[in-house]
Amino acid sequence: MADTIRVLIVDDIPETRDHLTKLLGFEADIEVIGAASSGGEALDLATRLQPDVVLMDINMPDMDGISATERLSSQVPTASVVMMSVQGEADYLRRSMLAGAREFLVKPFSSDELTASIRQVYVRDREKASRIVAAAPVAVPAADVDGEVIAVFSPKGGVGRTTMAVNLAVAAAQELGKKVCLVDASFQFGDVGVLLNLNPKNKSIADLVPELELGEAPSLETFVINHSSGIRVLLAPPSPEMAELITVSGIKRVLEGLRAENDMVIVDCSSYFSDVTLAILDMADVILTMLTLEITSIKNMRLFLEVADQLGYEDDKVRLVLNRADSTLGIRVVDVEQSIGRKVDHTIVSDGRSVVYALNRGIPFFVSNREAQVSQDILRLANAVSGVHHPATTATTATAESAAKLAKGKSSIFAWRS
């Protein structure tokens, strides 16, 4: 077959290598072309066999997976690395991504998660490198009917993500006439319910995801709340320990479902850099990355931009939003730009009065104080991000074969909804 994904497995434990080989043996479009038991052997084999995807264990005796990935990135740049680890810690994740890994699987993972990751990095990297020579360019079906996903992220907490996500959603709904769903993906300590004065029972993403995992077909509508401001809301779990229920495959299915039903899906992300957060950032059409005029915020932003670059995010996918831009703390916007080596794309003024008044009453300031400068800034931002949809994995042209594959992937994602 012309479009088989050629996979190299790297793990020091023989049983794991056998197990993975067997699992992948069931997939018609994936071929295991070799297995290595160490980082050194992986480099040799990869150089010789030129795999499309390398499944790399992180903990190995001689050369660990991160060092092997680093070397592989320069020796065999066409091979995309999917890192496997039992540790789900942010630091491992970040270091893997900086080393050039494209995906991160936390053991134990299901065979669905495994094959989905392999296919995803394969399609994404091929498109990125424009190595697909289209016989006849075909439009990917259904891509343009989907709404856009806007992630509101920052590598540091307390910079105004929730405040902005809520008001941006309201602005897009009320002023731009968009059908908007706001998702609180700050799963441990979500604040969206507080800002919108919502506190329902059994209506959060924690109630939805387990059903998805079981392969059941709940209607998303059952869990989405209609708010009086005209937006729709999917809340975070009511208690922190329930955050664990939310998996990478679960959040992906939720966002796919929501983007099919809405013009805009705005996601208030956690600043904790987990595999779930990463999945959201991957899926997003735009990442509004928020910072404030504080040293820690600026430092973390620099690190995040490095990771974003390693992840292959386009420059215009990541937008820098400076919140409370007029604060007089001695740091100027030009200093920030110089320090992170990038221009700030959007600014929002500081307005403690409007923001706190709104917060205490549970009414977004875009509703209660529509004329304030801070509301105007939010509206400008809403206009700027509206309609920027350029699907990350469904680029403009593809071969008929990979388009068919994508379409097939889509239909299986949506199977539960029919």
Binding site for Mg ion (CB under 5 A): 161-162, 191
Nearer to ligand ADP, 157 or 238 (CB): 157
Candidate ranges 128-136, 250-258, 354-362, 394-402; the one touching ligand ADP (CB under 6 A): 354-362
Residues recorded for the chain = 418
Nearer to ligand ADP, 163 or 386 (CB): 163
Geometric angle at alpha carbon 321, from 319 and 327, rounded to 5°: 160
Nearer to Mg ion, 191 or 345 (CB): 191
Could you say which of 267, 374, 379, 392 contacts ligand ADP (CB under 6 A)?
374
Q: State the minimum distance, in angstroms, from the CB of residue 299 to ligand ADP.
A: 16
Interface with ligand ADP includes 359 (CB under 6 A)? yes
How many residues touch ligand ADP (CB under 6 A)? 19
Return the biggest CA–CA distance within the chain: 65
Interface with ligand ADP includes 162 (CB under 6 A)? yes
What secondary structure does DSSP assign to 368-387, as a single string?
Answer: HTTTSHHHHHHHHHHHHHTT
CA dist., res. 196 & res. 368, Å (int): 12
Listed in sequence order, the residues at least 6 apart from 214 whose beta carbon sits closer than 8 Å to its beta carbon are none
Could you say which of 64, 184, 207, 351 contacts ligand ADP (CB under 6 A)?
351
Tokens of 357: 């008044």
Could you say which of 82, 150, 205, 348 contacts ligand ADP (CB under 6 A)?
348
SS (H, E, C) 206-266: HHHHHHHHCCCCCCHHHCCEECCCCCEEECCCCCHHHHHHCCHHHHHHHHHHHHHHCCEEE
Tell how strand 232-234 and strand 225-226 pair up. antiparallel
Q: State the minimum distance, in angstroms, from the CB of residue 34 to Mg ion.
A: 45
159 binds, among Mg ion, ligand ADP, none (CB under 5 to 8 A by kind): ligand ADP
β-bridge partners, 9 = 35, 55
- Cα 236–chain centre separation: 17
Tokens of 323: 């919140």
Segment 176-215, which members bind ligand ADP (CB under 6 A)?
191
Segment 273-292, which members bind ligand ADP (CB under 6 A)?
none
The verdict on whether omega for the bond into residue 77 sits within 30 degrees of 0, i.e. cis, is no
What secondary structure does DSSP assign to 157-212, as a single string?
Answer: SSSSHHHHHHHHHHHHHHTT---EEEEEE--SS--HHHHTT---SS-SHHHHHHHH
279 binds, among Mg ion, ligand ADP, none (CB under 5 to 8 A by kind): none
Q: State the minimum distance, in angstroms, from the CB of residue 311 to ligand ADP.
A: 21
Candidate ranges 75-83, 126-134, 240-248, 344-352; the one touching ligand ADP (CB under 6 A): 344-352
Q: State the minimum distance, in angstroms, from the CB of residue 268 to Mg ion.
A: 6
Could you say which of 65, 100, 155, 160 contacts ligand ADP (CB under 6 A)?
160
Name the site residues for ligand ADP (rule: CB under 6 A): 154, 157-163, 191, 323-324, 348, 350-352, 355-356, 359, 374
